[in-house]
A = this chain, B = another copy of it.
Amino acid sequence: MKQKVTLKQIAKELDVSISTVSKALKDSVEISLDTRQKVKAFAKLYNYKPNNIALSLKNRKTKTIGVIIPEIVHHFFTTVIGGVEKVANEKGYNVIICSSNNSFDKEVINLEMLASGSADGFILSVAKETQLKKDYHHIEETMNQGMPVVLFDRIIDEIVCDKVIIDDAKGAQAATNHLLSIGCRKVAILTTVDYISVGKLRTNGYLRALRAYDIQEEEELILKIEDVDNCEAEISEFLRNKDIDAVFAVNELFAVTAAKVLNEQGKKIPDDISIIGFTDGILSKHFIPSLTTISQHGEDMGIRAAKLLIDKLEGDDTVSEEYRTVIIDTSLIQRQSTKKTKR
């Protein structure tokens, strides 16, 4: 089990100095052609690869991007990562992914860990707990140390930095609008508790759409779900015998769960009730009936976020005090779970 070969070893073998080897490998004219070739041949033979760690230490940059997301087992976030990886790799950056598991503490730990030398900048979507706690010191500290941060999706208004979001309210309004435009009038919404920023925004969009149609909002048509993992009973209870003709769910899970319980309650989708979801995931696509939904274009978000970050990383420090917020357009993907009603 041979060890990694270093410049020093090559130097010793060839009886030249370390700097000669280094320069030879970079084709410096300072070194004779002869020596250059000898060194390169030797390096290839022993499969020399410069040690990234040493380079990072010397250059004070790691060429890697840290991505921290609330959940790794989540289709939307993985598509975002896909986008990030795409542009990162193009530009010669590595990507480190950590999941906070929606825990504030783990988010702090991960961020500090990566911030102390492992990454040059961050792309992150904050944990649920962080949104609840409103404690952002770790993010601010990271930025104070000169490392750029790009927030996406679950962002924090109070923090000034680059951001990539969708217009959640607008998307939700479009979704609700679609339901209204096909004739639905009693639209229930399945949303999250208010401290989840995107949930609240989507709820707002829903309300806005109703108002635009002069429809009075009704408390009993709004369900704010706290415990996402055990939402089925709650949704079932909520939907039972309710006089509605449509359901807008702010995420995929709520949408399919609604479809499931409505099914069990003998309702036909989309004939009796239309359903529209949010996030174009694998579930929406393959469910029967396939679900009409709002696509967040996760990959695009990742691409834009990575570009913003790399711009900051490679820009001169002079222009770096300007922050941008990119809003990705959502789009309505029409499938089988919504249908024009006859009334």
Contact = CB atoms under 8 A, between A and B. Distances in A.
Q: What 7 pairs between A and B have smallest CB-CB spacing? A: A52-B117, A53-B117, A49-B116, A97-B97, A73-B78, A51-B117, A256-B286
A116 B52 contact: yes
A264 to B, nearest CB: 9
A112 B263 CA distance: 51
Given A1-B144, A2-B146, A73-B79, A54 B286 contact: no
B75 A81 contact: no
B94 A113 contact: yes
5 contacts: A47-B141, A75-B282, A260-B286, A260-B288, A283-B283
A50 B141 contact: no
Q: How many copies does the complex hold?
A: 2
Interface residues of A, number: 57
A97 B259 CA distance: 35
A53 B50 contact: no
Interface in A255-294: 256-257, 259-260, 263, 282-283, 286-288
Nearest to A81: B72
A168 B81 CA distance: 29
A204 B144 CA distance: 58
A85 interface: yes
A163 to B, nearest CB: 19
A115 to B, nearest CB: 7
A54 B52 contact: no
Contacts of A81: 72, 99
A69 B85 CA distance: 13
Contacts of A106: 89
A251 interface: no
